[in-house]
Amino acid sequence: MRLNQVTVSVPDLDEGWRFYTALGLTPVVDSRPTYARFACPDGGGTFSLHPGQGSAATTVYFECDDLDARVAALEAAGLRFTNPPTDQPWLWREAELFDPGGNRILLYFAGENRLDPPWKVERRAPTPSGPWRPGWSPS
């Protein structure tokens, strides 16, 4: 299992977008005002934002190449899933459960769609008004 993505709540996605791009994350998906996802500069991890008021809405994603088998094994071991593995419209297959602290945990498989979804932000060069633009990467 690999940690892929942490999604945090922010009251204003535009402010969150500005902050995390300034921090050095590269935009991957821009569905503001409801969602934004960024690639971390090192490794394959991603980080997401959705609207809300802080950590009560935190969601942690763990990628599993063998999602259905892993969920079956975890259920056999006594873990309770609130949603079984389900194909989602964003082209991921996800299973949902909650940790003892009430944090939402999603085990998922996304394949190529994790960092390269069909709606991926176009890469554009920076402009004089700022060091980044949605989807721009110096590579």
99, two tokens: 């940790």
d(CA 10, CA 49): 7
Structure confidence at residue 42 (pLDDT): 74
Q: Is the pLDDT of residue 126 over 80?
A: no
Structure confidence at residue 128 (pLDDT): 57
pLDDT in tens, 62-85: 889 999 999 999 999 999 999 999
Q: Is the pLDDT of residue 134 over 60?
A: no
Domain chopping of the chain, boundaries: 2-114
Q: What is the pTM of this model?
A: 0.62
Find the angle CA(34)-CA(39)-CA(41) to the nearest 5 degrees.
145
Segment 108-123 shows an average pLDDT of 87
Residue 15 in contact with residue 126, Cβ under 8 Å? no
At a CB cut-off of 8 Å and minimum separation 6, what does 114 contact? 4, 44, 46, 63, 92
Domain spanning 2-114, CATH class: alpha beta
